[in-house]
Structure 1
Amino acid sequence: MKFKTFAAFVGPSVFMMILFIALPLVSVLIQSFQITQPVMERIEVETCTPGFLTQTCVTEIKTVPIIGDDGKTVTTTEWTGFESYRNVLQMDKFWAAISNGTPGEILQIDFWKALRFTLMFTLVTLPLVIGVGLLIALTVNNAVRAVRGPVIFISLLPFIITPVIGSLSIYWLFVGDGILTSMMERWSGQNISMFAQAWTVELLMYFYRVWHVAPFAFVIFYAGLQSVNMDTLESAVIDGASRFERLRHVVIPHLMPLIIFISLIHLMDCYRVFEEIVGFRAEAHVKSLQWLTYDFLRPDDAGNRAISRASASAMLTMIGIVFLLILPLRRTWRDHKGGSH
C-alpha cells in the first residue's frame, strides 16, 4: 500500500485521536501541576438595618473576588509542582497511620478509601464476569438450535440497558420496600435495609456489574466456540477425556486470546467505575477514584472547583489502569512474539 493511500485511511483517525484524546490528556497533566485561584481583595462593606430614625449601620471588612471588565472573576495560575498530588495522596496521614500501628486509619483518607474500593471492585468482578460469560456461552452452544435465538436475546438484555438505568433498576428492587427486599423480609421475619451499610452496597454493586457485563463476555466466547477444532474434541472424546478435561485442555486454551481481550476491556472499564455509585446513590458508603475526581470538580460554597486536585486524581487513575494492564499486555506480547516465529 502506498504511503498516500495509507495516510488517507489512517490520517482522519489519528487527527481525531490527537484532538479528542492526546490534547485533553496533556491539558489535564499540565493542570495537575498548577493551581488556579481567584484574585481576592479586601473591601469595606456597610450594612444598615431598615428604618429611618432608628437605622443602625455597621461597617465590616470582607474578602471578595475581583471581577474583571468582562464580568468574570479574575484568576491567577501558579506552578506548584507535585503539591496537588500530595494533597490528594495525603502521604503524611498515610505514614502516620503506619507508624502508629493503625493501618485502618488509612481507609479514612479519601484517595486510599477510593483506591481500595476500586481495586476490589475490579479484581472481584473480573473472574466472575469471565466465568459467568463462559458458562452462558457453553450452555447456549450446547442447547437445541431452536432455543438458541431466544436465549441469546434474553442474555443480551442486561448489556443493552444503559449503565445508569440498569443500576437504578437493581437499586429499586432492593431499596426500602422494593420487591426483593419485601420478599426477604417476609421470608426472614426481620427488617432488612440493604443500603444502610457499606458491605451490602458493595455486594449489590458487584452483582450489578457481573449482571451487566457478563453478556458481553458471553457474545465474545460464543463466537470463539464456533471456531473450536471439532477434530481435536472428537479425538479427546475417543481418548476418554471427560467434559471438564475437554474444557480445560482444549476449549479454554483455544479461547485464551479472547479471555485476555475481555480482561483488558473489563480492567479498563471497571477501574473507572462511576455509574454504579450514581445509580445506587452510594457515595455516602463507598467512593471510587472516578467519583473522587468528579467530587473535586463540584463547586464548593464559594463556587470554586479544585481543578488541580481533580487533574491529579485523574492522572493517578490513569497510572493505576496502566499498572493493571501490564500483566495481560505482557501475555499478549509474548503470544504475539511466539506466533510470529
Structure 2
Amino acid sequence: MKARTFALFIAPSVVLMILFIALPLASVLVQSFYNTRQVFEVVQVENCTPGFLTSVCTTEERSRPKLDAAGRPVLETTFVGLDTYRLLLQPEAVAQALSAGGGGLPALFNLDFYRALRFTLTFTLLTGPFVIGIGLAVALAVNGIVRSLRGPVIFIMLLPFIITPVIGALSIRWLFIGDGILTVALEWLLGRDLSLFAEGWTLEILMMLYRVWHVAPFAFVVFYAGLQTVDQDTLESAIVDGASRFERLRYVVVPHLMPLIVFVTLINLMDSYRVFEEVIGFSSQAHRISLQYLTYSYLTPDETGNRAISRASASSMLTMIGIVFILIPLLVRTWRDHRVTR
C-alpha cells in the first residue's frame, strides 16, 4: 500500500482521536495545574423584627457569590502547579501513617485516594483471572456440545453481557440487600442472620462476583470464536500421539488462543480499572470507593456550588497513569510477539 493511500485511509481515525482523546486529555492536564473557584463578597444585610413602633433592626454581614453584569458568578483562576497533586496524594499524611506508631496500612487506607486506589487495584487484579478462566472454560464446554444446542446456550450466556451495567448491578443488589431472595436462601442454609451490605469485605466480594458474571460472557464469545480456527489436523495428530485432553489444551489450544487471551486481558484491565457502575449500583460509597468514583465526587457541587475541578483533573490523570503502568507488561509482550512474527 502506498504511503499516500495509507495516510488517507487512517486520516479520519487520527482526526477523531485528536479531537475526542488527545485534546480532552491535554485540557484535563492543564486544568489540574489551575484552581478555579467562585469569588465571594461580604455584604451588609439589615434584618428587622415584625412591628411598627416596636420594630428592632439589626445589621449583619453575609458572604454571597459575586456576580458580573450579566448576573453570572465571577470565577477566579490561579496557577497552583503541583499543589493539587500534593493535596490529592497527601505525602505528609502518608509518611505519618507509615512511620512508627502511625497506624500503618489501615491508617493509609483511611485517606480517600489510597482507599480508592487499594480497592481499584484489588478489583482489577482479582477479577481478571476469573474472567479469563471462566470464559475459556465455558467456551470449551460449548464447543464440545452438540451443534443443535450451541445457539440457545450462546444466547443464554450472552444475557449478562447485554444487560446495562448499572441495571445489572442494581438487580444483583436487590437479590442480596435486606431480605433479598438470595440473602434469605443463605440465611436458611447457614441458620443465621446475614447482613451482606453492612461489611466492606462482603460488599467487595459481591461487586467482584457481579463483574465476573457480567464480563465473562465477553471473554467466552472471543475464545469461542478463536476455537473455531484451531487446526484440527494438529489436534488429531496430538490424539494419535496419545496426548491427554489436558495436554492438548495446554500445548495446542492455549498457545493458539494466546493472542486472544492477551486481547481480553487488555480490555478487562482497562475496563476494571475504571470501575464505577458497581460503586453506584451497590451504593458502596460508605465502605468502598474507586478512583473513578473519587473523580466523580470531586465534580459534585458542594454547599456553595463549587466543584473541585482541579482535584478531579488530577485524579483523572493519576487514573490514566495507573492504567498505563498496568498495561505496560502486556503491551511489551504484544510488541515482542509482533516483532517475532515479522
Q: What's the TM-score once normalised by structure 2's chain length?
A: 0.97
Q: Which residue pairs with 1:339 in the alignment?
A: 341
1:317 counterpart residue number: 319
Q: Does 1:275 align with 2:277?
A: yes
What are the equivalent positions in structure 2 for 1:206-225 lying under 5 Å apart?
A: 206-225=208-227
- In structure 1, the residue matched to 2:90 is 90
Residue 335 of structure 1 deviates from its aligned partner by 0.3
Q: Deviations over 1:219-251 (max 9, x none)?
A: 100011111111221122122211111111111
Secondary structure of the 1:108 match is coil
Which residue of 300, 303, 322 corresponds with 2:302? Answer: 300
Aligned match of 1:234: 236
> How many Å separate the matches in 2 of 1:8 and 1:230?
40
Determine the C-alpha separation between the residues in 1 that align with 2:43 and 2:294. 35
Tell me the distance in 2 between the aligned counterparts of 1:315 and 1:298: 18
Shift of 1:65: 2.0
What is the Cα deviation at residue 189 of structure 1? 2.6
Q: Take 1:50 and 1:89, find their aligned partners in 2: how far apart are those partners?
A: 53
Which of 164, 167, 176 is equivalent to 1:174? 176
In structure 2, the residue matched to 1:34 is: 34
Question: CA–CA distance in 2 between the matches of 1:54 and 1:248?
Answer: 94
Partner of 1:119 in structure 2?
Answer: 121
What is the CA–CA distance in structure 1 between the aligned matches of 2:172 and 2:94, rounded to whole Å?
Answer: 36
1:153 alignment partner in structure 2:
155
1:121 CA displacement: 0.2
Q: Is the counterpart of residue 136 in structure 1 residue 138 in structure 2?
A: yes
| Structure 1 residue 185 displacement after superposition | 1.6
Partner of 2:22: 22
Residues in 2 aligned to 1:57 and 1:9: alpha-carbon distance in whole angstroms: 76
Q: Note the C-alpha offset of 1:64.
A: 2.1
Q: Deviations over 1:148-190 (max 9, x none)?
A: 1111000000000010011111011101111111111222232
Q: Secondary structure at the match of 2:194?
A: coil
Count of residue pairs brought into register by the alignment: 340
CA shift at 1:3, angstroms?
5.1
Q: CA RMSD in A?
A: 1.2
CA distance in 2 between partners of 1:12 and 1:306 (Å) = 35
Query: 2-side partners of 1:144 and 1:135: how far apart?
Result: 16
Q: Give, in angstroms, the shift of residue 9 of structure 1.
A: 3.2
After alignment, is 98-107 or 129-138 more displaced?
98-107
Structure 2 CA distance, aligned partners of 1:2 and 1:330?
28
CA distance in 2, matches of 1:51, 1:130: 77
Amino acid at match of 2:247: E
Unaligned runs of 5+ in 2: none
2:108 aligned residue (99, 106, 111):
106
TM-score (norm 1): 0.97
Compute the displacement of 1:7 (Å): 4.2
Query: Separation in 2 of the partners of 1:270 and 1:60?
Result: 52
Q: Equivalent residues in 2 for 1:245-264 (5 A)? A: 245-264=247-266
Q: Deviations over 1:177-225 (max 9, x none)?
A: 1111111122223221111110111010010000000000001000111
Q: Name stretches of at least 5 consecutive residues in structure 1 with no aligned partner.
A: none
- Quote the sequence identity (%): 63
Cross-structure match for 2:45? 45
The secondary structure found in structure 1 opposite 2:109 is: helix
Moved more, 143-152 or 10-19: 10-19
2:57 maps to 57
Letter in 2 for 1:140: V
Which residue identity is paired with 1:242?
Answer: S
